[in-house]
Amino acid sequence: MDFYYFGGNMHTTIVTDLNNAHFTGVLFTYDATQGDFFTRLARDIRHDEKIKYMIAIRPYTISPQYLCMISQSIEEIMPKRLQINLISGHVKPHEQSVGGILGDVTDSSSNVDRSNYLIKYVQMLEDLRKDQRNHIPEYYVSTTNRFVFDASCDLNSKMIIAYRNYKYGCWVLKSEFDQIIEKGDPFSLDKTQSMISLSPIIRKTQEEIDALDKPYLTYDTDYFTYEQFDTFVKKLEGQGIKELMLGGWPEEERDIIIDFVKKYKENAI
């Protein structure tokens, strides 16, 4: 299993900590107020590490052509270390007034319009691939509905699937309080290149789990002992799923996840 960490930060030692714990990659999430991670990657990437930098972008904020140009330049700086996460866009309230996007699709567009734009964007990347002068970055499509899923399958694109959708085997709609309000069409991950994204709460014993207040109620969170999570990882591998994106918050949860992955990779569990 290849492990990724959700929520990288270039102002701390977290990337090096993850590299030393044998993570394959780290995802840097999109926020219009946080600055440009491509620029920081070019400044900070270390030649003595192997960890990959996955940078999330909203497709309507940058053209496929320019994304390929950036990818080519970073490839010259450090080969095979950049990955892209294409997201239709979960726009946070503090971003609503930022603006600065010209075109028919913006942060204020509907989920349907943003998903349709994402599909067209992936199709354009694959069209650009036909000209070998273009440097198409390795990319993953965050997939939350049947339409993006079907298009990604048709194009053989790598996908990131939320744990709640994997767990129920269908597209799950949530309320603002993380309650399931609707279950959509079922799907199968057979013959796909899929990464599962979740925020596990891991403890050494079941007694420790039972003693938790369990404030983490989102459907992308679940509770595991070390042994249970080891079994879960092996189950995914048996299903042909070879990549897992793990998020951990607050920091003590992140540290537990890093400890688990390090021990798992070193066969210490």
Q: Tell me, what's the pLDDT at 177?
A: 58
10-40 per-position pLDDT tens digit: 889 999 999 999 999 999 999 888 899 999 9
Q: Does 54 score more than 90 pLDDT?
A: yes
pLDDT band at 132 (very low <50, low <70, confident <90, very high): very high
156-198 per-position pLDDT tens digit: 999 999 999 999 999 987 665 556 666 788 999 999 999 999 9
Q: What is the 3-state secondary structure (H, E, C) of the chain?
A: CEEEEECCCCCCCHHHHHHHCCCCEEEECCCCCCCCHHHHHHHHCCCCCCCEEEEEECHHHCCHHHHHHHHHHHHHHCCCCEEEEECCCCCCHHHCCCCCCCCCCCCCCCHHHHHHHHHHHHHHHHHHHCCCCCCCCEEEEEECCHHHHHHHHHCCCEEEEEHHHHHHCEEEEECCCCCEEEEEEECCCCCCCEEEEEEEEEECCHHHHHCCCCCCCCCCEEEEEHHHHHHHHHHHHHCCCCEEEECCCCHHHHHHHHHHHHHHHCCCC
Mean pLDDT of the chain: 91
Q: Does 96 score more than 80 pLDDT?
A: no
Mean pLDDT across 226-243 = 96
Domain spans of the chain, in order of start: 2-265
Q: Does 259 score more than 90 pLDDT?
A: yes
CATH class for domain 2-265? alpha beta
Q: Tell me, what's the pLDDT at 176?
A: 56
Q: Tell me, what's the pLDDT at 109?
A: 87
